[in-house]
Amino acid sequence: MHVVYPAVVSALLFSIGVYGVLARRNTILVLMSVELMLNAVNLNLVAFDVWLRDRLHGGQVLTLFVIVIAAAEVGLGLAIILALYRNRRTVDLDRLRALAEPGASGPGDASGPDDDSGDGPAPDTSSAGAPRPGSLASGTSPVTVPGADAGAPGRDGTTPGTVTP
């Protein structure tokens, strides 16, 4: 077999991978596209190793190293994606551009028409619209702590087992 066939297939795989990295907005699909690009490189390494009849099989050895690095990259990448999904509830790259918390505005953000400047801090809400624990939400009510004694008022006049956020 001539070296042109694997080189053309490798170029096609690499091109598809580049397109996937540049055009996709889902982080998992971008990670898969990077893996496709690495596999195209592996195909080239093995094809040229066989074509050059290398006695030490350097291309195949380097391919094994690339496979090990790719496996580590997938493990780390999926762990990062999982952590981002737990915090942001999305894996869309357009929504993950900023490093700030969701809904927080940085110093370079322009204020929009619904900006409440001067009204004090706004409630910190999650993507579902409910106030997050520990946020400054209006109309806070006492929270009952499970397992606390709900008896008579304590020394400071509050009922034991309740916390006002």
Average pLDDT, the chain: 76
Instruction: Give the per-residue pLDDT at 82.
Output: 92
Q: pLDDT for 26-85, tens place per residue? A: 889 999 999 999 999 999 999 999 998 888 888 999 999 999 999 999 999 999 999 988
CATH architecture of 4-96: Orthogonal Bundle (1.10)
CA distance 18 to 12: 10
* Model confidence band, residue 112 (pLDDT cutoffs 50, 70, 90): very low
Q: What is the mean pLDDT of residues 112-124?
A: 49
CA distance 123 to 54: 66
Please report, for the chain, the start and end positions of each structural domain, with discontinuous segments joined by +.
Answer: 4-96
